[in-house]
Structure 1
Amino acid sequence: MNEANENPPRPAGLRIGDRAPDFEARSTIGPVRLSTFRGRWLILFSHPADFTPVCTTEFMELARHAQEFEALDCELMALSVDSLFAHFAWLRMIRDRFGVEVRFPIVEDPTLVIGRAFGMVAPQDNDSAAVRTTYFIDPSGTIRAMTCYPANVGRSTPEMLRTLRALQAIDAEGGLAPANWQPGEKLLCAPTHDLDAVYAAKDAVSWFLDREGDEA
């Protein structure tokens, strides 16, 4: 038997449920350490480069919605390979040209150490231009959701907010968020694992697909 088949390589990168690796780095608001954000939600996201069109639109939208993330007890933190001074110049341009101030930290990662630790870039990659990755990290430091977009497609800020609210809702209420769930809507009940309960359910569907608060 081929040795490679006996010991297949573990896929690179982090998975949902993993603990987010700690790091300390320079940012646009001063030195930051990931572990100091424990106790609050944190959305860590990479962008391919400063002074690029898609990233510029993303940062303006996130800055415009920053108070909504703050109201949900969530911090934003961006990451790219560009230098701290490139970040400063880009943010100054955004403010002067579009009237939007980006106040959340942008971390510099010129050696790709952080990007590789999180699996944002493959070990053999020399730059981060290929993808834009987002990690939703809960107050305990656990990665609860991840998204990965190509460089030519921007993120949806409303979907980031919806995902965050859904994660917080299932933590608070213990249910399941269905497709297209929006804040204020009912969550789904977790399906039963008991055969007697399946047979006793009001119909053939309600034992596994029912909304919280509905009559049994």
Structure 2
Amino acid sequence: MCTIKLTRCFTLGTGLIWFIHSIIYGLFLNVNPSLGCVITNPTMTLYSSWFFYPVLYGPLPILIASLSSLFAFNNVRRIVRRQVPIVRRRLDQQMTAMVLMRVVFFVIFTLPYAIYRIYTINIPNPQSNVLHYAIRQLLQAFFTSWTGVNFAVTFYIFAASSARFRRQVKYLIRKYWRQWKHCSFCAAQNQVGPINTVSGNSDIDLE
């Protein structure tokens, strides 16, 4: 049902909406020397507690990604039953496996951070209790790093779930490695250095 043109419009519209939302959301963040960026506006606190993290950041992207992966899986099953070239069938199967793996890890890396953010927004972190405060700071650092992994492991997920992707990566690495070695060899051959010549004329008298 979705064409390339419609997909580009959806992508552009989604990026524009999130860009505007991020600017508005960032205006209500205040920098605390000990806590980092925190929300102090009561209205924005309610919005973050009841809509942003419970809907926009957590369940909604997970639901959309899960439905897309299920549609892709159903599409591959329908292609298997149809008379299509075997190469196209294998490519679609590998792409579906990559998408499914990506969705699973997306849920694993995104959901804990959303739950923790809802907890921290609704329950303040008292600095009077030093132990409790240190534990909360440690958890915040852990979950922030954990959700950051979500944007760094896509390559490794695809490499682990697709043999064709691994072969393509190996081919590109070997190709560019040969090019780099060739360029390095040519650069070494084209180096220019001074030539020391010793005059053989022994009739020159030094004064």
TM-score (norm 2): 0.25
The structure that is strand-richer by fraction is: 1
Q: Which has the higher contact order (CA 8 A, sep 6+)?
A: 1
TM-score (norm 1): 0.25
The structure that is helix-richer by fraction is: 2
* Rg comparison, structure with higher value: 2
